[in-house]
Chains A and B, each alone.
Chain A
């Protein structure tokens, strides 16, 4: 089975721009979560989608948004980029909302905001 894929792997943007990151879950997985990883902050939960519905959202400003498509693929969007948005963005997929031991992470998208 193919793992979780994220595109692009690396991205450089400037302040004020917007960016869209993509995540393709493992085949058959319907739950996708997004995390932001920064040094000293660990992984911070952004949001979770299941069956195209956002089930939970972390404590991030409205500039961070996401969606999930009918094939379970998910995108996250960050508008009006700030320097502090530079981070590794990870997505994780699982079969369902509480498949705790079956959450698989992708390799991440490294976003640099200049």
Chain B
């Protein structure tokens, strides 16, 4: 049972434009969310996170938005750069829990 879903397996964006990656979850107990970026032949690396007490968190070109009522979060990358081309995973957990639940990933391609 996939509790975290990324329904877009791939996304292509022109360099300089905005990339929006989406993630939905089903478990209302989740209260902490993370995005990871993964290059081929490397492990995922932490990108940005958000707690359920916030609806937005920003770090440079990366912003994560959380809509708790819709059980939806999104990652915005502005402006997109070719080096952003990677697979992006969203993950969710509970602050008191021990387990991360990951989505299936979205492969982002930024076209120069």
Q: Which residues of A contact B91 (CB under 8 A)?
A: 43
Query: Which of A14-22, A63-71, A77-85, A90-98 forms contacts with chain B?
Result: A90-98
Partner of A106, one of B32, B43, B89, B97: B43
Residue pair A101, B89 in contact (C-beta under 8 Å) = no
Query: What is the chain B residue whose CB lies nearest that of A103?
Result: B46
Q: Which residues of A contact B89 (CB under 8 A)?
A: 42-43
Chain B residues numbered 24-50 whose CB sits less than 8 Å from any CB in chain A: 32, 34, 36, 41-46, 49
Task: Report how far A46 CA is from B89 CA in the complex, Å.
Answer: 17
Most chain B beta-carbon contacts within 10 A, residue among A55, A103, A104: A103
Residue pair B49, A101 in contact (C-beta under 8 Å) = yes
Residue pair B104, A40 in contact (C-beta under 8 Å) = yes
Residue pair A108, B43 in contact (C-beta under 8 Å) = yes
Residue pair A107, B104 in contact (C-beta under 8 Å) = no
User: In whole Å, how far is A54's beta carbon from the nearest beta carbon of chain B?
Assistant: 10
Query: What is the chain B residue whose CB lies nearest that of A92?
Result: B43
Task: Report how far A104 CA is from B6 CA in the complex, Å.
Answer: 22
Chain A residues numbered 44-75 whose CB sits less than 8 Å from any CB in chain B: 44-45, 48, 55-56, 58
B11 at the interface (CB under 8 A from A): no
User: In whole Å, how far is A107's beta carbon from the nearest beta carbon of chain B?
Assistant: 5
Q: Which residues of B contact A90 (CB under 8 A)?
A: 43-44
Partner of A107, one of B43, B46, B101: B43
User: In whole Å, how far is A66's beta carbon from the nearest beta carbon of chain B?
Assistant: 14
Task: Report how far A65 CA is from B43 CA in the complex, Å.
Answer: 21
Task: Report how far A4 CA is from B2 CA in the complex, Å.
Answer: 27
User: In whole Å, how far is A26's beta carbon from the nearest beta carbon of chain B?
Assistant: 12
Given A90-B43, A103-B46: A42 in contact with B34 (beta carbons within 8 A) = no
Residue pair A4, B43 in contact (C-beta under 8 Å) = yes
24 A/B residue pairs, CB under 8 Å, sorted by A:
A4-B43, A35-B102, A42-B6, A42-B103, A43-B91, A43-B100, A45-B101, A55-B98, A56-B98, A56-B99, A58-B99, A90-B44, A97-B98, A100-B32, A100-B49, A100-B93, A101-B34, A103-B46, A103-B100, A104-B46, A105-B45, A106-B43, A107-B41, A108-B43
